[in-house]
Amino acid sequence: MLHDLLIAPFQDFEFMRRALVGTLALALGAAPVGVFLMLRRMSLTGDAMSHAILPGAAVGFLVAGLDLFAMTLGGLVAGVVVAVLAGLVARGTELKEDAALAAFYLVSLALGVVIVSLRGSNVDLFHILFGSVLALDDAAMLLLASVASLSLVTLAVIWRPLVMECVDPNFLRSVSGAGGPVHLVFLALVVMNLVGAFHALGTLLAVGLMMLPAAAARFWARDITALAAIAVLVGMVSGYAGLLVSYNTELPSGPSIILVAGGICLVSIFIGPVGGILRRLIPARHLEA
Amino acid sequence: MPALTFRTLTLGYERHPAVHHLDGSVAEGELLAVVGPNGAGKSTLLKGIVGALRPLDGVIERGGVKARDIAYLPQIAEIDRSFPIAVYDMVAMGLWRRAGLFGAIAGTDRARIKAAMSAVGLAGFENRTIGTLSGGQMQRTLFARLLLQDARLILLDEPFTAIDARTAADLLALIKRWHGERRTILAVLHDLETVRAHFPTTLLLAREPVAWGPTPQVLTPDNLLRARHITEAWDDEAGVCERAA
């Protein structure tokens, strides 16, 4: 019985196995990146950049149809361009970075939908907006695995200066010139993970497996390493449970995964031991010292 | 040989000078207080020395000390204290020059970190996150990091602001210990009593240098009044400065 419910779907169907491996890889790379985005108060930046990828991917689609390589390349280029442009506009004008990003991503989203509509059907549009986690081919799997591997290795390399850049950028600047490059590498990681997630979850939900696990983890741990580990775990559980929910109820799979992640996040907000609502409502007796 | 020499140094933002035509030098082993009203360019001067700000004009000669070999205490307000990092790790940042990206923190380093934390009175705080520290404890943490940096030139930006008397006294004792070890120290301070009591030399800055020399001769009522009157204003219509560099 339990076997039928929890394991059989993956045993019986290859597309379910692929979807599972794809989401696990995605969670592994995207969740730690999401933790840093959250801690740097850049959650909305991630959201905006995931939308910004759309016109690039759409141009790739226009040129080559639903081709992995073309859409990935287009998405990467668009993501980097918008990240740099938003930074320049914020630095060079009176517009703050969040306003600049909001402006860019609204235009990007509209532009992307228009470009896709030039050639594709509504089915294509749906595919691009919400992804197709149940239709991951070999190339897409390889891409997701590569993104996850590259993310983990890169994070391991830049971990120390990235943490220092977050906590005390002035100090890092006084001992090392690594601050600027580390920030750029980190932005590149964000774009890379979003482009990977785009294939599985679509442009509208790509940021979900990045930010929701990070937000949930905040209520379970105080330490940065623990935060990253818990976020990865939450992302993986969401992927697994979301796929099962979608299999058993015939709901669309991408949104199911994100809803499960959202559910875990909501539960964490209530019962999480680190500043959860329940802890605040039922205060324990204060300590002696 | 002086530790620091400024030659018609002008530092600022968007071409507006915050430190204007500063000339002079800081001797090796000097304990120098930098005082002046808000907006006088004190923090700007430290940022210039540490290399975070490129001079608009003039030069800073560091007498062979590289920018990276300077220990710098930033203003506490510029640190993100909500970031979940342990006090121990925060202090360990002081080992950056030795450890860098990958270098292991070896047993001797761990002993040094522990010793630095004890020296500032934070033994037992290793696993606390910095968000749980009081203002004084946070400043002690930053001093422990300075201890580990073991630098010949130490720059302190308002080390005693919003700190209680006992903590200030403890940290002042550390500064005196560094002074005894012939390290060169520049400290931006607001409390003139502290300056008079503990700092042999003083630079009174009000964008332009007002006075620089032995503390009793610098902190005269006359000089302080002049410092207060030199304008803080940012003049959008200001013309180009024609003073020869």
**Nearest Cβ partner for B83 among A39, A175, A176:** A39
Asked whether the beta carbons of residue A174 and residue B74 sit closer than 8 angstroms, the reply is yes
Sheet holding B208-214, edge to edge: B70-73, B153-157, B184-188, B31-35, B201-206, B208-214
In sequence order, the β-bridge partners of residue A129 are none
Computed over every residue of chain B, the mean pLDDT equals 88
Indicate whether A155 pLDDT > 90. Answer: yes
| Distance (Å) of CA B118 to CA A50, B94, B106, B107, B114 | 47, 15, 18, 17, 6
Please choose, from the candidates B144, B55, B154, B157, the residue with its C-alpha nearest in 3D space to the C-alpha of residue B93.
B144
Interface check B84 vs A, CB under 8 A: yes
Indicate whether A70 pLDDT > 80. Answer: yes
Residues of chain A contacting B99 with CB distance shorter than 8 Å: 160
Q: For residue B201, what pLDDT is reported?
A: 95
The predicted model gives A75-86 an average pLDDT of 84
Asked whether the beta carbons of residue B86 and residue A176 sit closer than 8 angstroms, the reply is no
- Let me know if B29 is exposed, middle or buried by CB neighbors in 10 A (0-12, 13-18, 19+): middle
| Distance (Å) of CA A175 to CA A171, B69, B71, B138 | 7, 7, 8, 20
Residues of chain A contacting B74 with CB distance shorter than 8 Å: 168, 170-171, 174
Asked whether the beta carbons of residue B80 and residue A173 sit closer than 8 angstroms, the reply is no
The better pLDDT of the pair A64, B88 is held by B88
| Interface size between A and B, measured as CB pairs under 8 A | 66
Interface check B14 vs A, CB under 8 A: no
Residue type present at position B42? K
Indicate whether B232 pLDDT > 60. Answer: no
Indicate whether A159 pLDDT > 80. Answer: yes
Residue B174 — pLDDT band, cuts 50, 70, 90? very high
CA dihedral B113, B115, B118, B122 (to 10 degrees): 0
> Which region among A119-128, A199-208, A244-253, B155-164 has the lowest average model confidence (pLDDT)?
A119-128
Q: For residue B100, what pLDDT is reported?
A: 78
The 8-class DSSP code of residue B201 comes to E
Residues of chain A contacting B88 with CB distance shorter than 8 Å: none
Query: Could you tell me the residue ranges of all domains in chain B?
Result: 1-65+153-161+183-245, 75-151
Q: For residue A89, what pLDDT is reported?
A: 72
Instruction: For each of the domains in chain A, give its residue range(s) and CATH number, in order of start.
Output: 2-281 (1.10.3470.10)
Q: For residue A6, what pLDDT is reported?
A: 87
Indicate whether A172 pLDDT > 60. Answer: yes
Computed over every residue of chain A, the mean pLDDT equals 88
User: Cβ atoms within 10 A of the Cβ of A149, count?
Assistant: 13
Tokens of B184: 């060169």
Indicate whether A148 pLDDT > 90. Answer: yes
User: How many whole angstroms separate alpha carbon B64 and alpha carbon A219?
Assistant: 49
- Let me know if B150 is exposed, middle or buried by CB neighbors in 10 A (0-12, 13-18, 19+): middle
List Cβ neighbours of B231 (8 Å cut-off, separation of 6 or more).
B207
Indicate whether B69 pLDDT > 70. Answer: yes
Please choose, from the candidates B44, B40, B8, the residue with its C-alpha nearest in 3D space to the C-alpha of residue B233.
B40
Instruction: Say what the ipTM of the complex is.
Output: 0.81
User: How many whole angstroms separate alpha carbon B108 and alpha carbon B111?
Assistant: 5
Place of tokens 């990235």: A162
Phi and psi of A263, rounded to 5°?
-60, -45
Tokens of B135: 């203002």
Q: What percent of chain A has pLDDT over 70?
A: 97
User: How many whole angstroms separate alpha carbon A179 and alpha carbon A160?
Assistant: 11
In Å, how far is A164's CA from the nearest CA of chain B? Answer: 8
Please choose, from the candidates B13, B6, B21, B11, the residue with its C-alpha nearest in 3D space to the C-alpha of residue B208.
B21
What is the topology classification, in CATH, of domain B1-65+153-161+183-245? Rossmann fold (3.40.50)
In Å, how far is B212's CA from the nearest CA of chain A? Answer: 26
The predicted model gives A176-192 an average pLDDT of 88
Q: For residue A100, what pLDDT is reported?
A: 74
